Chains A and B, each alone.
Chain A
């Protein structure tokens, strides 16, 4: 099991030692053109999570390839996964083509932007088109807003995905003291501890539909949380919001994971892989 960061939750250029404490570092989403992101206020804490509306702020594909990627390669000593975003199929394809010529371990397609959100056909179309232009491992990052996660994941696999990253944030709204949206943009992506049950359900559903590797994420704060994702069928686990509260979370979660496995009666965390699936399958039948 590898421990990764969730895309958008860590800047390896400002905190290279944190990035290097993961098994691989996942970049913020790269889009073809530079994006300043949304106007502030961009974040708001809620009782059991947080909302963000950063808006895919990034330097754009050319600056990423010319400047950011070489700097990352110098500053961190773990494999680099690049999160790729876009607003049409061609956006994704062109970025994947260019990344194929670089020292990138994996491409994670951020399929949770409004144009492809909640549409397995569109998401699969993006994956299929990217598959044709790159031999790099392709992971599809999916939204939890899916009525049938099994169907979504089967479509992504058929299109050529090598793995699934799940889940992205849920859409949410928080109101301030004057009952106005706390975020300037109104709605944002909801993450943190409250997302975990939704994410576990998504991983379970996906694991029942595919044998592909799954990066499970959504509200992981402790080693026990990570173990639960493994039990639901995740092969890897990613940390997101917890990184904002605890810069040392990668090391801590690893240590806790071993202890949590022991407490649950397993010799090693990997031994707990998929153990929650059988009961769920029985219930479903």
Chain B
């Protein structure tokens, strides 16, 4: 696994995808890592960086899908071409790619790691759920995906004969875990450092509180 690096990278473009922003930066010497790994992005004007999984890895670039829901993500989404920000990664453990019949499942901003994952798995089927038509505009990142919109949920359309790799809100992941016990699920937790220093991102794993940034963010649900 490649060692994480922290570099100040240049923003090459910020594209609006529905309510989300796809922030693209020149890669520099930072390795894109494996799908499901994440990066800590400097949030201009804020004390702490924000964890973002890699969305796509165009040649020479890294791209992150950002949902501007708080002051940090708003600052990142407001970056403009030519701005610079520190990026640190790749961090954590990504998805295992040795699956026979992959199905990618994403909910809302949780679709973020799936385009890079789809590329690594040679574009398997994907199922995406969004809360509105506006949010569903981000589905353009996974062109052949089946898309459902609230009140229809991804679990309403989930085939049970697939190796599920999923990312999305916690209730969605819990519901998938109930239906597909072997699913690989990418979780989220408030994180200060991303490299095991702060012990802020603990979640219960095997009955113990463990750091999601070190043990995850992708965990096998069984």
Contact = CB atoms under 8 A, between A and B. Distances in A.
B67 interface: no
Taking residues whose C-beta sits less than 8 angstroms from the other chain, chain B's interface range is 20 to 34
Interface string A27-62: 010000000110111111111111010100100000
Give the interface SS of chain A, mostly helix, strand, loop or mixed: loop
Nearest to A44: B190
A57 B72 CA distance: 27
Contacts of A246: 6, 86
A57 B208 CA distance: 12
Interface string B32-67: 000000000010001111000000000000000000
Contact of A9 (B42, B86, B198): B198
A215 B88 CA distance: 29
A43 B200 contact: yes
B203 A40 contact: yes
Give the interface SS of chain B, mostly helix, strand, loop or mixed: loop
Nearest to A192: B47
B121 interface: no
Interface of A: 8-11, 14-15, 18, 28, 36-37, 39-50, 52, 54, 57, 192-193, 241, 243-248
Interface of B: 4, 6, 42, 46-49, 71-72, 86, 88, 189-193, 195-203, 208-209, 214
A183 B4 CA distance: 29
A244 B192 contact: yes
Nearest to B209: A36
Contact of A50 (B86, B192, B201): B192
Contact of A10 (B42, B88, B197, B203): B197
A202 to B, nearest CB: 21
B201 to A, nearest CB: 8
Given A14-B214, A50-B192, A244-B193, A37 B49 contact: no
Nearest to A42: B200
